[in-house]
Amino acid sequence: MSIQEDYIERVYAGVLGKLIGVYLGRPFEGWTYERIMKELGPIEYYVHEKLGDPLVVTDDDVAGTFTFLRALEDHGLSPDLTSEDIGKTWLNYLVEKRSVLWWGGNGNSSEHTAWLNLKNGIPAPDSGSIAVNGLTVAEQIGAQIFIDGWALVAPGKPLLAAKFAKKAGSVSHDGESVYAAILWAAMEAEAFISAERRPLTKPWFVANTTGLPNS
């Protein structure tokens, strides 16, 4: 499939959507519905202005999304990119407690735990596995948060996006978190060629993503 003429514009729109979602939602991230309604009410305004917060700040949701993609430049533009390759990219570009990431501690932050594993010689995908880190840490939400970029480099190729998503997500996560990353990446890649919002039904998803390699 040839690249669409408006590919750059579509990627720009995807990145812009990512930034809007992160920056506009960040001031009340983690709030309960009850707290939102009590303190903010129906949100038809810019929350950061009401709370006195800056709009644009460094954020791991953005930094991780676009830093981990450097694996393609560092290890070759290949569909055979491995989790281990992407893990090496983590080590090449992330500086503990200085780079933009949630450095929440070993056994608390999935990403920090995975980075420490990589640093200590445990390669990906073991670095993010349930077997090494336990279910609670491995199934945090980070895998799907960092996944958008892999869809943007696989326009109209949901299976390739899913393959990248599984390999990238498995550096720091496992289980349901990685399944969510695969699903989101596939939908975003499909959006390049689909003019309608067509759900990726469970039979399609299972049939086409079962057996994707971990490494």
Tell me, yes or no, whether 22 and 124 share the same domain: no
How do the pLDDT tens digits run along the chain, 215 residues long?
A: 567 788 999 999 999 999 999 999 999 999 999 999 999 999 999 999 999 999 988 899 999 999 999 999 999 989 999 999 999 999 999 999 999 999 999 999 999 999 999 999 999 999 999 999 999 999 999 899 999 999 999 999 999 999 999 999 999 999 999 999 999 999 999 989 887 665 555 545 555 555 666 66
Residue 58 has a pLDDT of: 87
Tell me, yes or no, whether 119 and 68 share the same domain: yes
Q: Are 185 and 147 in contact (CB under 8 A)?
A: yes
**Sign (positive/negative) of CA torsion 100, 103, 104, 110?**
positive
Tell me, yes or no, whether 83 and 147 share the same domain: yes
Residue 3 has a pLDDT of: 75
Tell me, yes or no, whether 76 and 175 share the same domain: yes
Tell me, yes or no, whether 176 and 126 share the same domain: yes
Half-sphere exposure of 17 (CA within 13 A, CB side): 10
Q: Is residue 73 part of a domain?
A: yes
Tell me, yes or no, whether 183 and 165 share the same domain: yes
Tell me, yes or no, whether 43 and 66 share the same domain: no
Tell me, yes or no, whether 26 and 123 share the same domain: no
Tell me, yes or no, whether 40 and 82 share the same domain: no
Which residues have CB under 8 Å from 83's CB, separation 6+?
123, 124, 125, 167, 168, 170, 171, 214, 215
Q: How far is CA 23 from CA 12, 14, 29, 178, in A?
A: 16, 14, 10, 24
Residue 208 has a pLDDT of: 57
Tell me, yes or no, whether 11 and 64 share the same domain: no
Last residue within a domain, chosen from 25, 40, 57: 57
Residue 5 has a pLDDT of: 85
Q: Which domain holds residue 20?
A: 1-57
Q: Are 50 and 134 in contact (CB under 8 A)?
A: no
Residue 151 has a pLDDT of: 96
Residue 201 has a pLDDT of: 56
